[in-house]
Amino acid sequence: MLVPGGSLFAQPSANDFIAGRIVNIDAEGGRITLRHNGIPHLHLPAGTTTFRYVEARLIIGRAPGDNVRFRADRIDMALRMTALVHAPG
């Protein structure tokens, strides 16, 4: 459905999952490094970025090399990973 002033194409938002691959997990520092597709709502091109994660439970059972889908946002001026799920492949 087209809303007034809207477009036929949905703009990516913080609620969209982004494809990525875990490069490194720093559990002590509370950070995860991901190689990822572009993240338009954060104005980040495809590349490798280190995010702080909001909950330690997000990294349980995860390891470098895992394919994932994740959500990220800017919270308190820092890039934060807010959700992480396993992705096939």
The string of pLDDT tens digits covering residues 7-60 is: 444 445 556 899 999 999 999 999 999 999 999 889 999 999 999 998 999 999
What are the structural domain ranges in the chain? 18-86
Residue 9 phi, psi dihedral angles, 5° rounding: -110, 130
Using an 8 Å Cβ cutoff, are 8 and 76 in contact? Answer: no
| CATH class of the domain comprising 18-86 | mainly beta
pTM above 0.85, yes or no: no
Which residues contact residue 44 at a Cβ distance below 8 angstroms, ignoring those fewer than 6 apart? 36, 38
